[in-house]
Amino acid sequence: MIDAPAPAPSPRIRQSKAALVLASVSLVISLVSCGLAGFVASAADIDLLPVQSEPAEASASQVEAVAHVTLPPGTVFLAAAYSNGLETRLSAKFRIPRTGLDAFVAAGKFTAPLTPGLRAITAKHNVGGGNLWDPDTAVSVSGIEEQQPTTDGTYRSVLFNLDAPDAITVYLHASRG
């Protein structure tokens, strides 16, 4: 028995194979391009899917609204930064009269007690960067660090710098999300 020669592939099969090869090459080129773009973006510290706003300066009313506090009369607002997205983050530094401490704590309805010596705020709580955030320089401090959030899910931490005799420098951090 003599084997008959294999029939020549039809033009449709040849076109299908060519299309499959081109699609495979295209897929490989696309994957390499995406990988290269991701590498360049990560090397240049570019966020390809920004879900958090850049920190921006916050007003006293934003501090009160986000952190659920009331700034007492005589408050000197020093700095505040706010960022929103998947998380809401706020840091604020202000000075209140020493006589306003009890009213500030009571109006804030904190879920944790004011604790002498507690350093509830550190440099990592600084949302906006900058050189005005210096909680580590305080010698005599008290703090509040909530373990239970407010009704809208906001966690708050506060450091009171008690070094000055007539005023208290307050470092406040609030986050939600």
Domain boundaries, the chain: 9-49, 56-176
DSSP per-residue codes, 51-104 = -BPPPEE--HHHHHHHHT--PPTT-EEEEEEEE-BSSEEEEEEEEEEGGGHHHH
Output the pLDDT for position 9. 65
Output the pLDDT for position 104. 95
Is the model's pLDDT at 116 over the cut of 70?
yes
User: What would the two tokens of residue 32 be?
Assistant: 């390499």
Is the model's pLDDT at 162 over the cut of 80?
yes
More confident residue, 110 or 132: 110
Average pLDDT for 134-151? 92
Least confident range of 22-31, 102-111, 153-162: 22-31
Output the pLDDT for position 47. 56
Are 81 and 54 spatial neighbours (Cβ–Cβ below 8 Å)? no
Residue 129's pLDDT band, with cuts at 50, 70 and 90, is confident
Average pLDDT for 81-92? 88
Output the pLDDT for position 86. 81
Residue 69's pLDDT band, with cuts at 50, 70 and 90, is very high
Output the pLDDT for position 23. 78
More confident residue, 46 or 94: 94
d(CA 3, CA 98): 105
Is the model's pLDDT at 45 over the cut of 70?
no
